Amino acid sequence: MKKDSYRCIREYVKKDGSVTYHAEVRRGLGKHHRESFKTLTEAKNWVRKTESALLEGQQVPDNKARKLTLNDLIDQYIRLHLNKYPKRLKDQTAHLNWWREQYGTRILVNITSGLLAEAREDLLNGMTARKLQRTNSTVNRYFSSLSKAFTLAYQEWQ
């Protein structure tokens, strides 16, 4: 039987004498997932968890996704893409600012479907600056603005 996954833990001794463990996992010809740990036990646990997640078909976030927040995503989207479309700038910036105020400090990996469902309810039940309740189509526009930012980030940050 052919093995279609690769895992490895390497021990590195630094100049100061301390030891770190570099773990690496890959499934098939896919992307390598690497992480560094202070103990061998942590490295083994991470390898086990990552390999099982890959076998189940789950996405394993890379280091960049674990560090970036929604604020970072929105800033980059506005700076690089939205400025090219001045007609969309005002409305989409307002939508993205709502997302920034509510969830801006969240790390991208922690933005889940449950969180988005909660945000949808907040948008539907919340009031606008004019003391009016948002319609379903307006809520869809808020989600569309966020979706565009995520799509471009996914395409460009890989």
Give me 94's structure tokens: 């307002």
Domain layout of the chain by residue ranges = 5-60, 66-156
Tens digit of pLDDT for each residue in 70-119?
999 999 888 888 888 888 888 899 999 999 999 988 888 778 889 999 99
Tens digit of pLDDT for each residue in 111-126?
888 999 999 999 999 8
Instruction: Give the count of beta carbons closer than 10 Å to the beta carbon of residue 95.
Output: 23
> 86-103 and 136-156 helices cross at what angle (nearest 10)?
90
**Greatest pairwise CA separation for the chain in angstroms:** 66
What pTM does this model have? 0.63
CA–CA distance, 31 with 34 (Å, rounded to integer): 10
CA–CA distance, 40 with 9 (Å, rounded to integer): 8
